[in-house]
Each structure stands twice: as structure tokens, then as C-alpha cells.
Structure 1
Amino acid sequence: MPPVSPLLAVALAALLGWGPFSDWFGADDEAAAPPAAEAVDALAAAHASAQTIRVGGAAAALRPETRAAYAGGAALWALPAERRTLRRAIGEAAADGLRPAEVHAPTLDLLDARLAEAEAQWEALDGAARDTLADPRPALVAALDVLLTDGALRLGGALLGERADPASLYPGVWHATDRDPDGERWAGLQAAVRSGDARRVAAALGGLRPAHAGYRRLRARLDALGDDLAPVPEGTALRPGGRSVRVPHLRERLDALGWLPADSLDAWTRPDAYLLDDSLAAGLARFESAHGLASDSVLDASVTDALNADLDGLRDRLALNLERWRWLPDDFGEHYVWVNLPAFEIRAFMRDSTGGVAESLRMPANIGNAQTTGWTTPVISDSIHTLEFQPAWYVPRSLAAAQVLPMAQRDSLSLHRQGFEVYQNGQAVDSRLVPWDSVSVSSFRFVQRPGPANPLGRVKFLMHNPYAILIHDTNKRYTFDDGSGSSMSSGCVQASAPDELAEHLMTTVNGWEPGRARAAWRGGPRRGVRLERPVRTHFVYFTAWAEEGGALRLYADPYGYDAALAAALGRARPAPDDAS
């Protein structure tokens, strides 16, 4: 780094406070000229040439790309309008779940305030004083310039999902998508920064956000949970038709959490602001139902407690899930299956005639057991390519050792009774004649024929992944008797209504007549049917989800993944999930 000139030293000292200048101000009708461009350029280049920039008592590390942006030796955002535009773009980072310090927001606020003060003080000086004093403004403008650049690049990197590496956080079970594999989008942001066009940078940043409606809805929910959202006061039970000063607080909470229809009227100034009217009662009932409470629209102590859940923890939960959106592909496909593991749920979506995405199907599902090593269902994007009706079960070696061999050792006839075919070194053998207590399971392969004992049930949906993970029916239909899924499979996803999923895929993709897939599911010969086009299938992990209408749902964290991500991002442990 080149030696610091006396002028630069004075200007940088001025950055730390304004005591030396407080006695020099006077009145003059002559307007002050803008800060000298040459001084701003020199100071910006000096800042950018260092590894860090220091403002007051704090030092901020600069990205290599920031330093490269000033290779030409000139400031990028000398015009106030450009700085304001860039500040607005960087200010949106909080709605994307970033902490303000990650994009220098607190330091930028400090510099903005100091620059405004310096502008006023410099304007108040007469021309003679300005001729004899060092102008403090170039140092502030230069520091703002460099930190705006670095903040924009930090935000861009975050929007591309670089803040945490899921493969390192969750080895072997989380397979994220690189949304910029050739670096083209990152290069585009850098080019926009070097252009000095703040609007172009803002547009480039907007293009790095996931374009999915689910991301936008969750982002809107986080933005609605502002710092000034007051809790609902405690009080006696309030029923529909009742009036209370608690009602505007209730309306604000339900609106922020997405349980009310969009409404431009203010909660406090609307007609009958204190009335728990029918619309508000309906929203309250939906909230109660989602949280496992009696959906009677009564604002009692338990409902008040649920509404007043820790907002800091809730914001953290939403921030973590926005991060997960940034690990997913930008294109889910025209027609895709969506398995949200924490929700224990399968959904199917199709693009409609307007270009939007509409939900076609929804059902509970069972996922891999978190308590058994190797049985968690991985997070992965794949494709269903074939449906197999009345499938056989080719037992994975891990399950053969853990389940099949112990069963045969307890009862040598069990494999025969349950329809297993047994192969030793590639040759079929009679399972009833094998001395199971004295053999090595590694030399055997087990295939269970279709039938009521087969854990795959009546249909399986084959995919390409190397982990043998797929969606299938189950012979344990009773696990869905309560209308919900659970974490109890050995890794695959068990569908509660596989006949409906088969019917949906075969009618929409292969053009089968309605009812034909269900008939194949109910009985008939074993057969595999290849889809005419693969259907993208995404196993995802969202513990917070905003429905199409905006309603915020929180789910359990069955694999404990939230805590690891919270630690990686410097977030507190997230809020508890809904009772449902």
C-alpha cells in the first residue's frame, strides 16, 4: 500500500469525528462546491487497495472483487442519487434474511449521518475558511463508495447461496444445486458494479433472488414481522362479535403471520376497529387450527400465547428457510413433485395456462427414521421416470443385515412364508434349507415378491439417484390413520395416497384414461410403465412455509437441521414449531 499523504491523513482523521471543525463554521451566501472528484477517487482507491476498511473503531473486511472494482483508480458512486439507489437495494437484504452487518448496513448508516453533518458544516463555512481547511467530505464519500460496492457484492454472494455449504453442514444427505455453475450471473453483477450504474446493480441483485413464488411469499412474511409489531395484550376470553382494544393488536398479528386476506385498511383506524368481526374470526380460526388449538375463534389465554410467540426466534426460522430456497434449482420443471420432509407431505404442481404454477395434489407422507443411522431421507432434486405396479422389493444390503437376516434366524420358515426369493452367489436357493445362524449375509441377495407383506405396497415411483431413494406405497396403511405422516421409514418416502399420485402422473404425462392407473394399482400383473417424460421431483427441507394465500406454517425439525444452519449463519436457535 502506498504511503499515506498528509491530506489523506487529515481527511481520514476527520472521518472519526468532527471536534476539530466545530469552531470554524460561519455564515456565507456562497454555496459549497461538491467534494473534489480527484480527492474522492484517490481515497476510494486507497481504501480498496487494503484488505479491510476502518470506520471509527470498527474494521470491515473487503471482498477481493471489491478491490478489483477499483483497479481503474476511480470512485464508482460519487453522485448522491447513485448512492441512494444502491443503499435502497442493499437495504432489502434484511427481507432476504441477512443480518444488517453482513452488508455493512450499520456502518453505512453511520457514514450517511456523518456525511450529512459534514455537508451542513462545510456549507456553513465561508469561502476563506474552505480555502484554508481540509475538506472532510471526500474521505466520507470514498468510504461510502467502497462499502456500498462491498455491500452489494456481499448481498449478491448471499443471494447465490454462498453463506453456508450444505454439503459440509449435512455430509452425504443434502445435495444442493449450484445456481450459477458457470459463474455467469456472478460475473454479471461484477460488471454492473464496475459500470457505476446503481440501477443496473439493483436489477442484477434482483435477478439473483430465487424467482419462485414460495420464496417471495416467505420473504414477504419475514418483512411483515417488523420490529414494531406489538404483542396481543392478555385479557378475558373474547368471542366473535365482542369488542376490545385487543382486537387491533390481534388483527396486526394475524395479518403479519399471513392468516388474513390482503387488506389496505389500518388495524387501528378502520370502521369498528375494536370489533372481532366475521372476517377476523375466520382468520383466527384458521390460525388456531394450524396450531393444534380448538378452532372456535375465541381469543383466550392459550391463543394469545400462541400469537405472541418469540418474534426474534420466528424471524430466525424464516431466515434459515429463505437460505434453503437459495440452494434449490431456479427451474423446478413444468410439472413436478414436491416432498417437504419436515411437513411429512407430498405435493404435485403443474404450470397453468397463465404461466403460473398450480397445486394439483397433496397428501401426507412418511419419511426416513431420524433415530437410525443411514435412514434419513436425503435432500435432493431428481426425476420420476418409471412407475412399477405390484413391485418386487430388492432388499438393500444394509437392510438385509439389519432386518431380513435376524428375521430368518428367529424363524427359518419366515422368508418362505413372506414371499422372499433368496440368491446365494447369484444362484437361487431354498431359504428353508439355509443354516441362517452360521452364514454370512454378504453372500446372499433377497428379493420379496409382490404381496401383502411387501413393504413397497402396490406401486413404486422409480428415480435415478444412486441412493436407491424413491417414493412408494406401503403395506402399513394404518400409519396414516390419523391423517398425517411421520418419520418411520428406512429412508424412502411412503405416500399415503399412492393410487392418486399414480393416477395423476399417468393421466397428465402418459395420457391414460381416468381410472386406469388405479386399476393397475389395485391388482393385475406386475408391470413397469415408463413415463413419456420424466417428472422432476424435489425432496426439500422447509421448517417454515408460506402458503399461496400467505399463511405462515411452521413444521417440526425432524432431523435437527435448523440448529446447524443457525450456527453457521450466526442466528439464534429458531422458534418452536406449530403444535400441528
Structure 2
Amino acid sequence: MRRFSAMCVLFLVLGLAAEARAQIRGELAPVGVAEFYAQRRDAPAWNAESYAELVAAVGDAWMHGLPPERYGHERLSDPSLTPFLRDRLATDAYLALAGDLHYGLVDPRSVEPEWTLRQDRVDLIDRLRTALATGEVRASLEALAPQFPEYAALRRERVLLGLEARDRLPLGEGEDLALSSAGDRVDRLRARLSEIDPALSLVPAGRPFDAALERAVRQFQRDARLEPTGAVDALTRRALDRSPEDRAAILAINMERWRWMPADLGRRNIRVNVADYRLETWEDGELVAIHEAMAGRTSAATPAFSATMSYLVFNPWWETPISLGRGTLRSIQRNPNYASWAGYQVLDRSGYRVDPHSIDWSTREISDFRVRQRPGAGNALGEVKFMFPNRHNIYIHDTPDRDNFDLTNRRAVSSGCVRVQNPFELAEWVLEGQEGWTREEIDTVTAGSRATRVNIDDPVEVHILYFTAASGAYGRVRYLDDLYGRDRRLRAAFEQGLTVPLAQMEARRTGTAATLEDRPVAGHHGQGGRTAAMRH
């Protein structure tokens, strides 16, 4: 009888353990949990201090744009949990949160089809073992999130957003606001923009729209990449009146974009934020310089991708893509003299030069020819192009319309390429330390008209990116216009990702590890001297 009772107790204990496992496995990270405890032979792993750190870290997941309830925060705080279940819930929550912080919820290629960067692979179970051994659970989770300063700025903004949301009143519908406008909406505008100019908070209610407020509106518009008119039109009002929920969503999806990035973007790298019309040069983890830029118009959107800059060309020819050359050929068809006046050569399908006056257009088609533009002041690529071969034929280059950088704040005007301000300063940095290419020698070459290719001894990684929330002055974040409507796609995918069971997310990450590693990075098309057609 005693033996029977002992067996009953044993089976009861085993049954409770199995039931506990059933409650946890299949919820969040079943593969990782099983492997972790198999290595420990089911020994418990969490002490009180580490568990408390985990609960706090899960509770603060919202600062990363991730909902704490996704990781069972409320359940982790349940005092009635058995020690066995409590231990496994903690492991499960850690691995699930760690995976989301490091890899993100959305496969970047599902919303950015040309994405080429590869995420760093991390052994999350090893990270957990180390965290428990050192007692640094929270720090280990924070280390799995992106370490870029821009990501930290988005997190700070998310915290501030929660504090400010209660006090900010929207401007609401109404007429445009400009100098001499008055009323409650002007008072709300002044309160809204006091973060740009704190002195505005001292202005008494009822004062009309004045010059100081106009300056603040212009600054807001410049920061948001709107036209800095100083008047609050419908587009500016929508930007000012973004709800706290919309701003939180914008921050969340831009933090997600940073999670797609590897930690190492290259010792020397160029980052172009298309939505911000901004090009940055980075070296050894430090920002070197900022250049204003132009990007593709909405009908010729600049894709997000990465490639390696291997050479540049001073005084370049523009090998016009067929799609862009048709209009030029029609102009030449109407007036053959246009070719010499605008600096174009007409080539046949074999690449031989053709005198435009000799073409019998009654027997020939536009598609029988292509055009190229010789180096010179009017060349669409300006005086230098920076080449990082890729299948899109998208590059960085100068422009003959340099005045446009100062004339407009919204610069989606190109056929897809990135036009850069101060291109010779950029060339000087790219060729820094390279014998024979000081700034004086660059100026000497560009004073002539001969196309000159320079191979780069220390190639530069180029990352064409798209962020609609970016660091601004005084540690605040600038919310940018969603130029290409990409936020809508990513927001939908991110919200859908929040509904995908974490166990399924874990299986996808585990199952696609090889695919992510093997995905090719945009490489060199053609051999050294071959010239590809490019947009501008």
C-alpha cells in the first residue's frame, strides 16, 4: 500500500511537471526553452534578483515600441505561479523579447524588396546563460537592441511622448494660419512650438501670429522637410496635429528599421536617409560630415539597399538609360542641332556614333538609338559621380542645378539617383590619404573636361536608407514626411507581426538563418572599364 501511495505521488508530481511544460511550451519560444533546459537537465535557472530584473525589462518593452503583454508581463507578475512554471515563463519571456529586440518583427525584404544588409546572428540561449551567470539580465537585453545613437534618440522620444501627450491640444481644422492671424488656434500653435523656441511659452494668450512665431513655424517646416513658408497650411497642420498614437507608431516602425541593421556598417561608410534628403559620412563610428541631398521623385523612388563604393569618376559622361533618353531623342528628332547644343551624342544599337542630321526618321525608330552626354557644365551628373555598382543603376553624383539645394526643402526631383551638395568635399573624404588626390589635385582635374576614373584604395560602404523619424536639435526627434508612403506598408506589416504567435516567429527566425546569411549583397556588374547606363 505504501509503495502504491509513493507511486501515486511520483506520477502526480510528473503529471504536474508535464502540465506546467504544456502551459509554457508552444507559447513564446518553445525551441529555445527546450534546448536551454535540456542543457541544464531541467535544473531551475532564475533567482529572485534576476527574475525581478526580467519583469522590469519586460515592463519597459514599450520604450522599444514593443507591447509588454506580448511577453506575458502580467502573468510574470502573478504571485501564485509555481516555482517550476515561474522559472520557465521567465526563460520563455527572455528569449522572446531578446529575439524581437535583436531581429525585429518584420522581414525587411517583405516591405523593402531590394534590402541587402544581413542581420548579425546571435546565440540567444548563450546570451541568457551569460546574463544569469553575471546577474545582468536587463543589461543583456538592452545590449541586444540596436546600439546606434539614432535608436537611443527614438527611445527617449517615446518616453517623452508619454509625458507630453496629455497636455498637447491639436490645432484642429480651420483656415491657414499666417502673420496677423489670431485666436485660440494661434495660441495652441504657439504652445506646440515652444519646444523649438522656449520663449514662445512666455507670450500671453491672445497675441496674434507674429514674426517670432513665423520663425518657429519655418524651423518646424525645415525639420519636417516641408517647404518653409512660415504659414501653417493643411500639410503643416497635419504634421503638427499628429496624434500621440500616430507618433508612437512612427517611432515604433523606425525603431524596427534600425533592428534590421547589422552593428557594423563599415569602418568608413556613407548613410543616405532618403526621406530626410541627407547624406552622412561616418568613419570609425564617428559622424564626419553632413551633406544635403536630392532623391528620386515619387514616380522614380530611390530604393533602400547597400553596396560598396569602389571608384569615382571626375568629369563623367552620362550614359543615358533608354527610358530617360527617349525624350532627348524626340528633341533631336525635331531639331538635330539640339544634340550639339545640349552636349549629346547619338549612338546606334552597336554603340557607334551617328550624325543626328543623317538619320532618316521615316525609316528609323526612336528605339534604334540611345544618347550619351559629354562632360561639361550642363552634364546631368555634374562634375563627379560616385560609383557603387548595383543592379538599380543608382549612384551618388553632383548636379548642374546646385542652387536648388538652397531654393527648396523638399527635393524629390531626381530619376532615382542621389544628388549631393558639396560633392568635391565628399570626394576629398572618399579619397583621403590616397596618393595623388589632394583637394588641389581634384580641383585641377575638374577644371578640365576629360573623364577621369579613380579607383578607391579604401572602399566605402554605402547604405541608402529610409527613416521618417530622425534625430534633431536638443535631443528631440524630427518627424519627416513619408515621401514614398513606405510607412503605411511597414506599419501594417509591424501590426500584423504583433499578431503572429511568438513560437511561429521563433521558428521562422531559426528556419531562415541560412537564407539570411546567404542573401547576396549588391555587387559589381561588369568589368573595370565597362560603363553602365545610370539614372540621374
Is 1:168 paired with 2:110?
yes
Is 1:154 paired with 2:129?
no
Q: Which of 73, 79, 96 is the equivalent residue of 2:64?
A: 96
| Structure 2: distance between partners of 1:9 and 1:556 | 63
Q: Secondary structure at the match of 1:149?
A: helix
Distance 1:387 1:203, change over 3 A: same
| Structure 2: distance between partners of 1:368 and 1:335 | 25
Is 1:86 paired with 2:86?
no
Distance 1:306 1:494, change over 3 A: closer
Which residues in structure 2 correspond to 1:25-424 (within 5 Å)? 43-48=19-24, 50-52=25-27, 62-71=29-38, 74=42, 76-104=44-72, 108-112=73-77, 114-115=78-79, 118=80, 137-138=81-82, 141-171=83-113, 174-180=114-120, 183=121, 185=122, 187=123, 189-193=124-128, 197=133, 199=135, 201-226=137-162, 229-232=165-168, 288-292=217-221, 309-351=242-284, 357-363=286-292, 365-371=293-299, 375-400=300-325, 402-417=326-341, 418-424=343-349
CA contact (8 A) 1:335 1:535 kept: yes
| Structure 2: distance between partners of 1:447 and 1:561 | 33
Q: What TM-score, normalized by structure 2, do the two folds share? A: 0.73
| Structure 2: distance between partners of 1:489 and 1:506 | 26
Q: In the alignment, which residue of structure 1 is the partner of 2:412? A: 487
CA contact (8 A) 2:329 2:370 kept: no
Distance 1:368 1:82, change over 3 A: same
- Give the CA deviation at 1:567: 0.3
Q: Secondary structure at the match of 1:291?
A: helix
Q: In the alignment, which residue of structure 2 is the partner of 1:521? A: 446
Distance 1:331 1:156, change over 3 A: same
- Give the CA deviation at 1:393: 0.9
> Partner amino acid for 1:207?
A
| Structure 1: distance between partners of 2:355 and 2:237 | 65
Distance 1:82 1:424, change over 3 A: closer
Q: In the alignment, which residue of structure 2 is the partner of 1:19? A: none
CA contact (8 A) 1:166 1:176 kept: no
Q: Secondary structure at the match of 2:348?
A: strand
- Give the CA deviation at 1:557: 1.1
Q: Secondary structure at the match of 1:158?
A: helix
CA contact (8 A) 1:210 1:326 kept: yes
> Partner amino acid for 1:425?
S
| Structure 1: distance between partners of 2:377 and 2:23 | 72
CA contact (8 A) 1:192 1:201 kept: no
- Give the CA deviation at 1:405: 3.6
- Give the CA deviation at 1:471: 0.8
Distance 1:305 1:342, change over 3 A: closer
CA contact (8 A) 1:254 1:284 kept: no
- Give the CA deviation at 1:532: 2.6
Identity of aligned residues (%): 29
| Structure 2: distance between partners of 1:148 and 1:8 | 26
CA contact (8 A) 2:64 2:255 kept: yes
Distance 1:328 1:518, change over 3 A: farther
CA contact (8 A) 2:53 2:137 kept: no
> Partner amino acid for 1:166?
P
Stretches of structure 2 that go unaligned for 5 or more consecutive residues are: 1-6, 172-186, 205-211, 498-536
Distance 1:469 1:462, change over 3 A: same
Distance 1:51 1:505, change over 3 A: closer
- Give the CA deviation at 1:495: 1.7
Tell me whether 376-385 or 437-446 shows the greater mean CA deviation: 437-446
> Partner amino acid for 1:407?
S
Distance 1:441 1:161, change over 3 A: farther
Distance 1:62 1:560, change over 3 A: same
Distance 1:228 1:526, change over 3 A: closer
CA contact (8 A) 2:313 2:384 kept: yes
Deviation digits for residues 108-140 of structure 1 (CA, Å, limit 9, x no counterpart): 32451x41xx4xxxxxxxxxxxxxxxxxx42xx
- Give the CA deviation at 1:492: 0.7
| Structure 2: distance between partners of 1:522 and 1:82 | 66
CA contact (8 A) 1:395 1:448 kept: yes
CA contact (8 A) 1:232 1:304 kept: no
Deviation digits for residues 411-465 of structure 1 (CA, Å, limit 9, x no counterpart): 3443344321413324333233223464355554432211244211221111122
Q: In the alignment, which residue of structure 2 is the partner of 1:26? A: none
Deviation digits for residues 41-79 of structure 1 (CA, Å, limit 9, x no counterpart): 65543434x424xxxxxxxx5543234334466364553
| Structure 2: distance between partners of 1:435 and 1:304 | 56
| Structure 2: distance between partners of 1:369 and 1:479 | 14
Q: Secondary structure at the match of 2:306?
A: strand
- Give the CA deviation at 1:254: 6.5
Stretches of structure 1 that go unaligned for 5 or more consecutive residues are: 11-35, 53-60, 119-136, 236-246, 262-273, 278-282, 573-580
More helix per residue: 1 or 2?
2
CA contact (8 A) 1:95 1:219 kept: yes
- Give the CA deviation at 1:209: 1.9
- Give the CA deviation at 1:322: 0.9
| Structure 2: distance between partners of 1:194 and 1:163 | 24
Equivalenced residue count is: 464
